[in-house]
Amino acid sequence: MKIGFIGLGNMGAPMAANLAKAGHEVVGFDTAEVSVEGVKMAPSAADAARGAEVVITMLPNGEILRRVAEEIIPAMAKGAVFVDCSTVDVDSARAVAEQAERAGILAMDAPVSGGVGGATAGTLTFMAGGPEEAFEKVKPLFDIMGQKAVHCGGSGAGQAAKICNNMILGVTMIATCEAFALADKLGLDRQKMFDVVSTSSGYSWSMNAYCPAPGVGPQSPADNGYKPGFAADLMLKDLRLSQQAAESADADTPMGQRAMELYAQFVEQEGGSGMDFSAMLPRFEKRHRG
């Protein structure tokens, strides 16, 4: 398959490399000068998209996605598939899908979960929104880049699934960190707390798979000085997207709102930028009530 790939950063580059390794013809473009093994670089986004059966984008935000869409949609062949793997606001995803459909192009929003490690290993999860026909066409590519792809519904459904999932993750990580900090002050051993909670009703992915306490539970960024597996900055971005969507949909999400405020404080005022999102634990350890 001939594939255009636009946005070859930390996530896009390994994803494009995996497609090339699998034997696809991949033409890439990025605003930075990059080289990716097996990927032929084009001088512009439009050149990367021209003649491609599938164009994949992995971009920082909705505003840039809209700009790139303006450039590449006129260059794309009718019947081609435009797959955006960025995590952006639902409104931008839907606006770009409508623009593509008017031009006779199949559009999908397919944000991912799994981070840079998952992109490199080809073990990402794709949450896809858009027509069934587009999903079936692109499914073999999702299978190369990831281990799971879920067709969540129409345009914007992939972004909706991603931000709802990550809102839960942000809230549960804060609750897990608060509980460890409280356990410390109550004189409860962290390992004992983990042994109870990980097999009781407090069970969660944040506790069981990604424990924020160093030396407790399976290996996690907490055991590596909180170097990011999933950066606090990215959690803040996703929580802001969740609250933007909640406002747009008139949904009451007080826990999501509070989680966003706490991560904003942590990242922007308390030195949390560049740290893993589970570094909320040392933050709570240092604090007192009120």
How many whole angstroms separate alpha carbon 53 and alpha carbon 59?
A: 20
Q: Which residues contact 203 (CB under 8 A, 6 or more apart)?
A: 197
Q: Is 21 designated active site? A: no
Length of the chain, in residues: 290
Give the active site residue among 162, 185, 227, 286.
162
Does residue 271 sit in helix, strand or coil?
A: coil
> Which two three-digit tokens encode residue 215?
């030396």
The span from the CA of 206 to the CA of 189, in Å, is 18
Q: Are strands 146-153 and 112-113 parallel, antiparallel or unpaired?
A: unpaired
CB 220 within 8 A of CB 207: no
Contact 241, 60 (CB under 8 A): no
26 beta partners? 3, 39
Please list, residue by residue across 93-131, b when 16 or more beta carbons sit within 10 angstroms of its beta carbon and e when fewer do.
bbbbbebbbeeebbbbbbbbbbbeebbbebebbbbbbbb
| Phi, psi values for residue 127, rounded to 5° | -110, 105
Contact at 8 Å (CB) between 32 and 11? no
Q: Which residues are catalytic?
A: 162
